[in-house]
Structure 1
Amino acid sequence: MTHTQLLLNSSFHEHRRVNSWNAFLKAKLNEVNSGRDKGDHFKLPSFIARYKEELLAEYWKLTPAEKQTLKAKVQAAHDSKPPPARANPKTVNQAVTAAFSKMDKEWQALCARTVMEGLFLAV
């Protein structure tokens, strides 16, 4: 949450790009899972572990143009998705206020149960 608050109005947002290896893996995983039932799909880590040598050999045979085509397909699919809802300053403030209110109530209840006085500090 602090990361969101600090970077909300700055130009330091993380910019991620599609790389050809991930695009290749996505295409191969979709190809292998296309004929399988819903519960019988390969998960990415097990797929890579099982077919690592074949995947690497096939990937290194790709031409730069083929790699660029794979990247373009993934980027087009990414661009077609609606952007996720982002937290604006008002909602961030409301979330922080609610969190501190809840912590204050829990702290007061703890102090009442233990018959002790205390102080909590948030940094």
Structure 2
Amino acid sequence: MTAVWIVAIVFMGVIGIAAVDGYFSLEKRKIDAALRQQEINDGVAPGTYARPYKNKKAYRKAQKDFEEMRKQPNFNAQQNNVKSEDEIRAELINGIQNLQQRIDNIDTIMASRQKEEESKKNEN
């Protein structure tokens, strides 16, 4: 009976160690994937800062794929999608002006409705 307990404890230990290892392995893969994605978004070849590839052949293939992707016509448009501060400010000013016009329109509508209500009260 003692042997059963020993075997059970050993198996539980192995299962626990495997679970912890799997968890940290998953976390490492998530971090590596996020880093590679950030590298691609920044326009840097994947693997420049992180080297997730196990051998040089896979690394060279990734470099080649990235260069092909970089040659596509819409790649730079995706990378240069950031607006300058002046453009953002101009859009905000236009938005504020549009809102001000809408508020003025609402004010005139409300004023005309109040006049109509007053005229109806005066008629009665």
In the superposition, the TM-score normalised over structure 2's length comes to 0.36
Q: Which gives a bigger RCO, structure 1 or 2 (Cα 8 Å, sep 6+)?
A: 1
Choose 1 or 2 for highest CA Rg.
2
In the superposition, the TM-score normalised over structure 1's length comes to 0.36
Considering fraction of residues, name the structure with more helix: 2
